[in-house]
Structure 1
Amino acid sequence: MNQTGMNSGEGKGRSASQPTVFGSHPGLFTPADDDAPKSDLAVLLLNPWGIEEMCTRRFYRILAERFAEVGVASLRFDYPGTVNSLDETSAERGLSVWSEVTGKAAEELKMLSGARNLVFIGQGIGASLALMQAHFEPSVAAIALLAPVLKGRAYLRELSLFSRLIDDGLGIKQELRDSAPGSIAGLRMPRAVAEDLKAVDLNGLEIAIKPHIFMAERPGLEADTTFRDRLQAAGCHLRATPFAGYDALVSNPLNQEIPEALIDELIEWLQSLPRGQSTLPAKTPSPIASVRAGAIRETGVRFGPNDRLYGVLCEPTGHSIGVTAVILTTAYDHAAGWACSSVALARELASVGVSSLRFDSAGVGDSPPVAARRKQVLYDETQIADVGMARDYVDSLGISERALLIGRCSGAYVAFRSVLADPRWDACMIVNPVAFRWRFKGLPKTLKAYMRNALDMETVRRLWAGDVDLTAVTKNISIRLVDRMAGGLSPVFAPAKPITQLTGHVHRDFQALANRGTPLSIIYTEGDEGQEMFRVNFGDAGEKLSAYPNVQLHLFPDADHNLTPLPARERMIELTKLQALALGNRCHEQRAAHG
């Protein structure tokens, strides 16, 4: 069954950015659009750290696309020891390594774009690096500072506070929290980088160069205003603006809002910069963007119609057991996964001979959207088409005989629906699925959470401000109430019919997988909200799963919905290894049976 054929009417959309490698560092290059006027400017995008990086991944991709439309190429990349970088050990040398790689990225961008002059754009610690690195880059014509980190010590204290707030919100036990400097949401900042950050103070930086500077100030932060005044006094060509929508961008990846007004201002500023026609020859990116470390090789790839999907292929350089895992994102995490869990999973699988593809579906992270789809792709079944394209791509590589599909949260839902739609999948692992068939509006809460929020003054404020979708809330509460009552009501009782019928559909789905003999592993963290719907379908203890011998249920203690604590992620990795190795044994047994 070829999934791409099912959705051939969908628009091709924009291509994903071109994967590239400079030295041992992967990046994503976005050339200027063919029909745009070319210039001698190109943009180097510098990441923030931690959850802020996760929240700005899509923002940076949108910036790159908008820059391309006005004739400006760009490059974005991950620092050593972060996100998709395979260079873990050099980060032990501290912040200087991030600066060093930034310099290499700048040289690569000039070669790929043919541009003579660069614009550094950074957010958070990326903005700080942009300003500090500009002193060593004579080709830097302008710098955009988006909510820059001004003092490293203060920034580390802010991260510590924000980390505690996130852990409190996720309900993580005190003994399972990571309190290392700079750590947040399961992401650990390289120790040497955190140590070097303590010495960062942009207020003490001598501004010897006078580039054009765009500064987006955080609302109500006096330190930003003081630093802006200092830049003006130093004689910089400064354009300052409030960072409208900053909190909505970086506070929560689930409810993230892209600051469209700020993007428009950046485009206008960029177009106002002095620039001429590019005269340097541009280097063609290598068709294979691979990086190797030890027994692992990772390659940035594009696939699907017009190469519109981006992912990372992780392969063992030694023995392969003939199994490939495809790791899905949620609708708000990018391909690295929450706390870089997908990266860690992929590399651990490679250590036992299993290849993997982690990728962003359309509109998520580094994959551009498709015009015909909703902007919010949460629990959107059109993502099933992207999963089919990923399977087509894996099959085209010819590197495995078996394929395993893995997803968490909304990714778990898409994984389950994709395995049902496409019998090519050999096994499936899903973590904390909220439902197996979708009938809610938006992302529902439990009844307990709705009651708790009803008494919360912040909820009242948001209601008055019109920030709460009352129609969605009313519908979801009604569904939850019917779910709660349906178990004790007769199937002929009218309010119970929708849920009893839906449960019947879910059981038919499970039976279809059982008839195929497709192994399905379901993982829930104890107390997860997704168990509310699971109990409606399969009983309080999951007793109705006994009808399906292909299904295994696992309960993880001491973890949140995202598997933030490291022990939970390690347990998930070990279970996945066992599943992949079991598939590999089936391959071996079948080959042996056929001589």
Structure 2
Amino acid sequence: MCTRRFYRILAERLSGIGVASLRFDYSGTVNSLDETACERGLSVWQEQVATAAETLKGLSGARSLVFLGQGIGASLALLLADQAPKPDAVALLAPVLKGRAYLRELSLYSRLIDDGLGIRPELRDNAAGSIAGLRMPRAVADDLRRLDLTQLEIDAKPNVFFADRPGLESDPTLRNQLEASGCRLRAMAFSGYDALVSNPLNQEIPDTVIGELIDWVESLPHYRSERMLPRTRPMPVASVRSRSIRETSVRFGPDARLYGILCEPIETFAGVTAVILTTAYDHAAGWGRSSVELARELAMAGVASLRFDSAGVGDSPPVSGRRKQVLYDEAQVGDVALARDFLDAHGTGGRAILIGRCSGAYVAFRSVLADPRWESCILVNPVAFRWRFRGLPKTLKSYLKNALDPESLRRLWAGDLDLGAVTRNISMRLVDRMAGRLSSVFAPAKPLTQLTRQVHRDFQVLADRQMPLAIVYTEGDEGQEMFRVNFGDAGEKLSAYPNVRLHLFPDADHNLTPLPSRERLIELAKDEALALGASSHKNASHGAEALRQSI
């Protein structure tokens, strides 16, 4: 979840110095299919690294290879240093040295995340390697328990870039072994490791590590010392398929800047396409791979879908002039319009439904208001329907606490905090607090009262269009606080809008991490999409009958 954008930036930097690269997903992860292959364990991923290397050589014409990986990927890079196709160099970013210790660390980190999300113990996934809704294939976890790179002997003597995790004692042990074996080693501490992998919401890209990596690649003996061979085959259209679905990697928008995955049913098409939005920090696979699961289940029901990264998220580069953190940014509405343009041009046909969670739900709601081409919408745990803040605001108490925090002061001094956004958010909080103390005579002038009126006007627009709108909240979700301000404690004011349906999901967190809650959303999305397709078919039949009668 956290390294997707990091790898995209690294690939762009490598391309800038004339180095081609290929990044891919192992079986059973992110956008790859063939999950049953993982029953053979870690050896399957090793085979896929070799296949990826041969594919890259064929596509780029390059003869010299560098294997680069982080975590388990770094471990595989080192394990394969002696095997064909042999790399000329390997870059190890925080490699997993002892698999058993790594699984224990994942288990501890998983519990911390579940605690932070408020997931009840009986709803947690305690399988080895499971974390934040993602489950490591069991056979891979079993093989990892036996992994110990400190006992590894390497006959080849590749150039090695080694970025070790500060404070991890076994990293210097392996580094010393590599030096003693004759490997030409460049070592550095992986500064910024925790800031990169701890939380996708506020991660920081380790620019220092990227800079050192680029410099190391340029220093390799084979860098620009030989001419590339011609490509052995034309550039393929990235596509995977099973018996019932086909997925194709696509780029669209100005300069093809947006990256997405089009998922289509192979046989029966229900005449509906769903566009699945990110949350501005989750990439297109979704939290816990939920968007992938949703897309494929929809395809098996006959519903096509497009999941994509907004600008600055995952594999889509940022747009000059936009804020670095695009959370609750109106500019994302433009990206959604580009996705609809792509569907119209692609010719998927039929009608379209927009699905978003959290900040993605906010963007979905603003998008259907701005663009009448959308015929249906599902909002999951929307925090608000109109946004007055910049980014994700904190409480006044939190702002005061952070003002005295040395780390916050350091980030402010380094320019990592948006001072304008912080100032605006604090001002809005103060206005709300002062307005709340006004007498009831001035209640209509309160900012929140005015905001609620605007929200109701927005809902009336969709009601006038008769556009189906499904709103999902998990019980106790923080987003319900603003929902109650707008529509009453029980949502009773929604009765004014017959096009709206409210759904409450029990036993789930804001991200729908537990599998049963994700399955409930999948069923709801199927129902809404198929109902939209059925209404379209019914309207078409009535139109044809009216035409026959007029003739």
What is the TM-score normalised by the length of structure 1?
0.86
SS state at 2:146 partner: coil
1:206 aligns with 2:134: no
Distance 1:191 1:106, change over 3 A: same
2:71 match: 124
1:40 match: none
Distance 1:278 1:150, change over 3 A: same
Distance in 1 of aligned mates of 2:282 and 2:532: 28
1:432 aligns with 2:381: yes
1:466 Cα offset (Å):
5.3
1:375 Cα offset (Å):
1.6
Task: Report if aligned partners of 2:162, 2:175 keep a CA contact under 8 Å in 1.
Answer: yes
2:216 match: 269
Q: 1 or 2 for the larger relative contact order (CA 8 Å, sep ≥6)?
A: 1
Distance 1:426 1:485, change over 3 A: farther
Distance in 2 of aligned mates of 1:283 and 1:256: 39
1:226 Cα offset (Å):
1.5
What letter is aligned with 2:320? A
Distance 1:452 1:281, change over 3 A: closer
Answer with 166-175 or 487-496: which moved more: 487-496
1:420 match: 369
Task: Report if aligned partners of 1:483, 1:536 keep a CA contact under 8 Å in 2.
Answer: no
2:54 match: 107
Task: Report if aligned partners of 1:519, 1:551 keep a CA contact under 8 Å in 2.
Answer: yes
Distance in 2 of aligned mates of 1:549 and 1:301: 37
1:282 aligns with 2:239: no
Distance 1:547 1:222, change over 3 A: same
Give the paired residue count. 538
Distance 1:514 1:339, change over 3 A: same
SS state at 2:261 partner: strand
1:471 Cα offset (Å):
7.2
9, 20, 30: which one pairs with 1:73?
20
What letter is aligned with 1:426? E
Task: Report if aligned partners of 2:354, 2:376 keep a CA contact under 8 Å in 1.
Answer: yes
Structure 2 spans left out of the alignment, 5+ residues: 545-551
1:495 Cα offset (Å):
9.7
Distance 1:587 1:118, change over 3 A: same
1:312 aligns with 2:261: yes
1:555 match: 504
Residue deviations 1:508-535, cap 9 Å, x none?
Answer: 1111111111111111112212122212
1:441 Cα offset (Å):
2.9
1:63 match: 10
Residue deviations 1:355-403, cap 9 Å, x none?
Answer: 0000001111011111121221111111111111110111122223110
Task: Report if aligned partners of 2:444, 2:450 keep a CA contact under 8 Å in 1.
Answer: no
1:449-460 → structure 2 map (5 Å cutoff) = 451=397, 460=405
Residue deviations 1:183-211, cap 9 Å, x none?
Answer: 10011111111111111111111111110
1:444 aligns with 2:444: no
245, 250, 258: which one pairs with 2:197?
250
Structure 1 spans left out of the alignment, 5+ residues: 1-53
1:474 Cα offset (Å):
6.8
1:565 match: 514
Distance in 1 of aligned mates of 2:137 and 2:428: 46
1:487-506 → structure 2 map (5 Å cutoff) = 493=442, 496-506=445-455
1:88 Cα offset (Å):
1.1
1:488 Cα offset (Å):
8.9
Distance in 2 of aligned mates of 1:268 and 1:288: 32
Task: Report if aligned partners of 2:50, 2:85 keep a CA contact under 8 Å in 1.
Answer: no
Residue deviations 1:557-588, cap 9 Å, x none?
Answer: 21111110111111111110110011011111
What letter is aligned with 2:347? G
1:389-538 → structure 2 map (5 Å cutoff) = 389-445=338-394, 447=395, 451=397, 460-463=405-408, 465=410, 476=425, 479-480=428-429, 493=442, 496-538=445-487
1:73-222 → structure 2 map (5 Å cutoff) = 73-222=20-169
Task: Report if aligned partners of 1:403, 1:426 keep a CA contact under 8 Å in 2.
Answer: yes
What is the TM-score normalised by the length of structure 2?
0.93
Distance in 2 of aligned mates of 1:112 and 1:459: 53
Distance in 2 of aligned mates of 1:508 and 1:64: 46
341, 355, 363: which one pairs with 2:290?
341
Distance in 2 of aligned mates of 1:495 and 1:472: 27
Distance 1:582 1:495, change over 3 A: closer
Answer with 61-70 or 130-139: which moved more: 130-139
Residue deviations 1:434-472, cap 9 Å, x none?
Answer: 111111132124x5xx6589779x984545655677875
Distance in 1 of aligned mates of 2:75 and 2:369: 48
1:6 match: none
Distance in 2 of aligned mates of 1:138 and 1:576: 45
1:357 match: 306
1:291 match: 240
Distance in 1 of aligned mates of 2:80 and 2:442: 69
1:420 Cα offset (Å):
0.6
What letter is aligned with 1:428? C
2:549 match: none
SS state at 1:560 partner: coil
1:105 Cα offset (Å):
0.5
